[in-house]
Amino acid sequence: MRIYECADYRAMSRQAANVISAQVIMKPDCVLGLATGSSPVGTYEQLVEWYGKKDLSFARVKSVNLDEYWGLSGTHPQSYRYFMQEHLFDHVDILPENTYVPNGLAEDAGAECARYDRLIESLGGVDLQLLGMGRNGHIGFNEPGDCFELGTHIIELAPSTIDANKRFFASEDEVPRQALTMGIRHIMQAKKILLVVSGEDKADALAKALTGPVTPKLPASILRLHPDVVLVADKAALSRLDNREGVMTV
């Protein structure tokens, strides 16, 4: 794992955008696995800026998103489809038909999960998977549990996740209690993984994920078993890491 420590959120976002843009330049028809939430917003803003300067094109890129709230339509302002349109898709030249997000209104959650797995496999898997990490160590919506869920599945959101996401809704009662999420298998089968983590509130979980046991009780810990992971974090997120060996400051 390569670890980059950045001074702040803005520097972290630019460094993460560098990794993604390099992937797109090296393989213009790549498959990007994309994430939502506050962590990657600055990364998307930087990519949009570089696209506007004609430094980057997404015309041949395909994207698959990690997750979607169960019960929300893609036009709901708090859905992850809406988030992606607002922060990236509507501002670059990626083709709408090449952007994939789980369907939060599918009649059968199990069938939708199976369909999404088949879709990822039909694309040849993910070239670069962008991840954030929750305060409890979740990746995507793979919450802490007794085992790693392999395929796309429906998940009951942990109270800490609901609490963290309530700021995006009018009240906590409006936060969905379930989500569809890509499973650990397709995340770990991505050729490269880019993990972005920001903030002191995630420092404890990040330190444990990097140095503690690999366990489904801290889902991000499994990333240590992947052969090509880039972690880009700000100083606050890395503040609890005692062993600084190999950490590069940018």
Active-site residue, 149 included? no
**What span, in angstroms and rounded, lies between the C-alpha atoms of 240 and 177?**
31
Q: Is residue 84 part of a domain?
A: yes
Q: How many structural domains are present in the chain? A: 1
Q: Do the domain assignments include residue 166?
A: yes
Range of the domain at 38: 7-180+190-198
136 is an active site residue? yes
Residue 71 included in any domain: yes
pLDDT tens-digit series, residues 50-90 = 999 999 999 999 999 999 999 999 999 999 999 999 999 99
- Please indicate, yes or no, if residue 215 is contained in any of the structural domains: no
Identified catalytic residue from 18, 65, 103, 136: 136
For the question of residue 90 being annotated catalytic, the response is no
Concatenated DSSP letters for 148-174? ---S-EEEEPPHHHHHHHGGGSSSGGG
Whether 226 sits among the annotated catalytic residues: the reply is: no
- As a whole number of angstroms, the distance between CA 16 and CA 205 comes to 20
In a domain, 159, yes or no: yes
Instruction: Provide the 3-class DSSP secondary structure of residue 242.
Output: coil
Residue 238 lies in a domain: no
| Cross-strand bridge partners of residue 230 | 2, 194
> pLDDT tens across 122-143, in order?
999 999 999 999 999 999 999 9
Residues in the chain: 250
Closest CA to 206 of 134, 129, 131: 134
Residue 209 lies in a domain: no
Q: Which one of the listed residues 138, 142, 149, 153 is annotated catalytic?
A: 138
**Among 5, 143, 149, 234, the one annotated catalytic:** 143
Domain CATH code at residue 107: 3.40.50.1360
What's the pLDDT score for residue 84? Answer: 98
- pLDDT tens for each residue of 1-42: 999 999 999 999 999 999 999 999 999 999 999 999 999 999
